[in-house]
Amino acid sequence: MKNGSLNKVALEDLAAHDWYRFVLSFPPHLVKQYLDRFELGEGARVLDPFCGTGTTLVECKKLGIESVGVEAHPMTHFASSVKVDWSPDPDELEVQAKEVAEAATEDLQAEGLTDDSYGPESLFAMPAGSADKVTSERSSPALRSLPEDSYKLLLTNSISALPLHKALVLRDRIAVRGGASTNHTDHQRLALAKTLVLSSSNLKFGPEVGVGPAKPDAPVISPWLTGMKRMADDLRKLQALSSVKTPSLVHNADARLVDEVLEPESIDAVFTSPPYPNEKDYTRTTRLETVLLGFVRERDDLRALKQGLVRSNTRNVYKVDDDDRWVAENSAIQRIAEEIERRRVDLKKTSGFEKLYGRVTRLYFGGMMRHLAGLRPALRPGARLAYVVGDQASYLRVMIRTGQHLAEIASTLGYEVDSIDLFRTRLATATKEQLREEVVVLRWPG
């Protein structure tokens, strides 16, 4: 298998996973591999303390294994929660989606923004995009937008005015239909988040999120409706599984404070992928949907969100941060931070962010040590843990062997290091070298 294929989701695994997926997620088959290796017995409970968009949780539910997730980011916490909710009736989900799409389309038609030849009753039969086609010759009404404080949080030009208007019309129609006695608002909102990113925005993704050429118009309603129909089809498959009622709980909390949300000795295994020490601001990757769905409305909200995350990049470092005290006596981490600072001085790098490279390295490993320390009371004796992490060279090309250092930190806290397994290699953007992505496997003796 080619290296790039190792992180792809197999077609047979797409159900629920594909409802919304973080671009840097690990694949479901990797979860299955380690859960098999851990030989979990009946009644086992798996934790993902950095659960992101819920890959581990969904896979556990499919396998009939109880799971619990912890996620500080409100958008990805929401995504995880929806992806493990298989309770909606698929037929009702389709009917309500069609009603919402019809109502949103009528709203646009009243503004002269849709094709008069289109009939709402044929929504499911329409080619993708036709429900959203704009007749440019018509006079355009004032387009809806976000409040100024919210709009300023978006990446510049990440979505054009007309697609944003249509997305807001659809969002508001979803909210109105949510007043029905039986509603599936959360699933509809998650489908809108996926539509925004993949169909309606100007965003592009490599290893980083960026902004591509502007789309003056882009479909919103039709790809959303297609997504809702696929979601309903997935639910029909998922509800046929014997594991459909397997519990899965997701906490909106800081992974460094897991002891505040987990019961003592309640976890048999951990499978997770924390952030890596690099310059990826993970809140940028999901910024559009986070803002449009109302999880963040102003800069203070964004600051509060970032403060609940492990410090892995310079854009979420604050003066009051003190996780670095956890690794004050760790000579290896101190050497790396000092080398980064020496190289910065030698290269005469003087920007505010560059001056933080050494500090964020200490804060990152300190935050991870704090997490591993706080996790110990929740682990049952003999619990097995797997952390997917990657080597990094983002800070002035100083190599950080993330897996190796994480294993060493864990051992100082009483964990036993079982192995450090190579998952795949990745091409470093800065150095063009292949970096190791590894699975650090630990055991808690209890």
Question: Rounded distance, CA 83 to CA 75, Å?
Answer: 12
Overall size of the chain counted in residues: 446
Q: What are the phi and psi torsion angles at 213 (to 5°)? A: -60, 140
Task: State the pLDDT at residue 13.
Answer: 82
Percent of the chain with pLDDT strictly greater than 90 = 79
User: 148 burial class (0-12, 13-18, 19+ CB within 10 angstroms)?
Assistant: exposed
Token code pair at residue 88: 């909606």
Domain residue limits, the chain: 90-238, 313-446
> pLDDT tier at 177 (50, 70, 90 boundaries)?
confident
> Which of 109-123, 133-147, 239-253, 322-336 has the least mean pLDDT?
109-123
pLDDT tens for each residue of 101-152: 999 999 998 888 862 323 333 333 334 444 444 333 334 568 999 999 999 9
Beta bridge partners of 287: none
Residue 440 has a CB neighbour count (10 Å cut-off) of 22
For β-strands 416-427 and 434-444, DSSP reports them as antiparallel
> Which of 128-137, 320-329, 421-430 has the least mean pLDDT?
128-137
Percent of the chain with pLDDT strictly greater than 70 = 88
**Block residue for tokens 């800070």:** 395
CA 185, 191, 196, 197 torsion: positive or negative?
A: positive
Task: State the pLDDT at residue 113.
Answer: 87
Amino acid at 192: L
Whether this prediction's pTM lies above 0.85 is answered by yes
Task: State the pLDDT at residue 277.
Answer: 92
More confident residue, 185 or 280: 185
Q: Please, are residues 274 and 368 in contact by the beta-carbon 8 Å criterion?
A: yes
Can you give the three-state secondary structure of the chain, one letter per residue? CCHHHHHCCCHHHCCCHHHCCCCCCCCHHHHHHHHHHHCCCCCCEEEECCCCCCHHHHHHHHHCCEEEEECCCHHHHHHHHHHCCCCCCHHHHHHHHHHHHHHHHHHHHHCCCCCCCCCHHHHHHCCCCHHHCCCCCCCCCCCCCCCHHHHCCCCCCCCCHHHHHHHHHHHHHHHHHCCCCCCCHHHHHHHHHHHHHHHHCCEEECCCEEECCCCCCCCCHHHHHHHHHHHHHHHHHHCCCCCCCCCEEEECCCHHHHHHCCCCCCEEEEEECCCCCCCCCHHHHCHHHHHHCCCCCCHHHHHHHHHCCCCCCHHHCCCCCCHHHHHCCCHHHHHHHHHHHHHHHHCCCCCCCHHHHHHHHHHHHHHHHHHHHHHHHHEEEEEEEEEEEECECCCCCCCECHHHHHHHHHHHCCCEEEEEEEEEEEECCCCCCEEEEEEEEEEECC
Amino acid at 359: R
Whether 76 has a pLDDT exceeding 60, the answer reads: yes
CA 12, 15, 16, 22 torsion: positive or negative?
A: positive
Q: Please, are residues 46 and 271 in contact by the beta-carbon 8 Å criterion?
A: yes
Amino acid at 180: A
Beta bridge partners of 438: 389, 422
- How much is the average pLDDT of 179-202? 88
Question: Rounded distance, CA 78 to CA 75, Å?
Answer: 5
Q: Please, are residues 442 and 384 in contact by the beta-carbon 8 Å criterion?
A: yes
Q: Please, are residues 420 and 404 in contact by the beta-carbon 8 Å criterion?
A: yes
> pLDDT tier at 23 (50, 70, 90 boundaries)?
low
Across all residues in the chain, what is the average pLDDT?
89
DSSP state of 439: E
